[in-house]
Amino acid sequence: MAVKDVMDALRDIHIDNSKLSDLVKDIKLIGRVLEIVYRLPKKGMEEDIADRTRRALESLPDIEDVRVRFVEDVPSQPVMGQPMFTRRRVPGVKHLIAVGSGKGGVGKSTVSANLALSLSKLGYSVGLLDADMYGPSIPTLMGVKGERVHVDENNKIVPIEKYGIKLLSIGFLLPSEDTPVIWRGPMLMKALTQFLFDVNWGDLDYLVLDLPPGTGDVQLTLAQNVHIGGAVVVTTPQDVALADVKKAVAMFKEVQIPVLGVIENMAYFICPDSGKKYYIFGKGKVVEFASAYGLKILGSIPIDPELAQASDEGVPITESAPDSEVAKAFMGVAKVIVDITQRR
């Protein structure tokens, strides 16, 4: 019996608008006794939840007894030892979508830029915020390296516009691209919140947030201060990337940001001569990972050397070759995200 079997069985049960699996805080198997700890969405629901849990799990092999415990549900309590926080909405922004990854180099910034462009091509007003404070790459990817932002008469930062998208990056504020950013703690927090709230974004349907890789201060600061509509997680099908992406998913869940799904980048290579697909990093690994965690795969992006070249030249492939397979794959992801976010 694996944790996945328990979660699968609980996923189909809905209580008070939540899947039972989403309420699970901990699962333990002590001998043949399975103990499940839930956060309790509402007082008085204990018995119903316990009954339905037992019925769902009694058929699992090797289980003699199912014990159910509850901890109080306090969503706005301090997270990870931080002070109390309130999450503010970014004025004028309908959907704030964070793009994260477990580790660097999986194509998170490339995906953020092409996703933003695809959403814009679908007719939405879009912004792209490079929250990768330590390694901003959006200025290069979008061909606006070296540009500087200014403030308007209301003291708001005016984003740079390129390909119809409003862009902001720490790269637009640093004296040179070699300047290291060494902010930590309160200074970083101030800079980040300024990047969201002291900006003249205008009215945006989507603001795509390119997070730094991993699960550090930036993610936590944002989660505590900003209302984020949903997160998407980018991974490649390599085992090393998948090992870390689990941590990223766990972090979003911990800070209660809904994970909209996973984007599989560098999923396969299409041979230009034969048109045949080659699964260079292995096939099916991301599907397996996503199904174990109950996550949706939002799309699979092929490896395309032209994509890397286009990015280096500052013209994202969605712009330079909109009919390419890879651009179509990004468009597919954008449509799925629109579908999910518009239904909410």
219 vs 265, which CB is nearer to ligand ADP?
265
CB of 113 to ligand ADP, least distance (A): 8
Min dist. Cβ of residue 131 to ligand ADP (A): 11
Q: How far apart are CA 262 and CA 234, in angstroms?
A: 6
Task: Describe the crossing of helices 108-121 and 325-343 by its angle, rounded to 10 degrees.
Answer: 70
Using alpha carbons only, how large is the chain's radius of gyration in Å? 22
- The count of other CB atoms within 10 Å of the CB of residue 269 is 16
d(CA 247, CA 103): 10
Q: Which residues contact 177 (CB under 8 A, 6 or more apart)?
A: 139, 145, 146, 171
CB of 245 to ligand ADP, least distance (A): 11
State which residue, 233 or 307, has the beta carbon closest to ligand ADP: 307
| Contact positions vs ligand ADP (CB under 6 A) | 101, 104-110, 137, 213, 265-266, 301, 303-304, 307-308, 311
At its nearest, how many Å lie between ligand ADP and the CB of residue 237? 12
Min separation Cβ 282 and ligand ADP, Å: 15
DSSP for 11-45, please give it: HT-EETTEEGGGGEEEEEEETTEEEEEEEESSTT-
**Minimum CB–partner distance for residue 213 and ligand ADP (Å):** 6
Nearer Cβ to ligand ADP (189/266): 266
Q: Which is nearer to ligand ADP, 70 or 172 (CB)?
A: 172
Task: Judge whether 27 and 3 are in contact, CB under 8 Å.
Answer: yes
Residue closer to ligand ADP, measured from CB, 53 or 318: 318
Q: Which two tokens stand for residue 125?
A: 């007003």
Q: For residue 201, give the H/E element and its range.
A: none
CA-CA distance, 205 to 163, in Å (whole number)? 16
Q: Which is nearer to ligand ADP, 281 or 289 (CB)?
A: 281
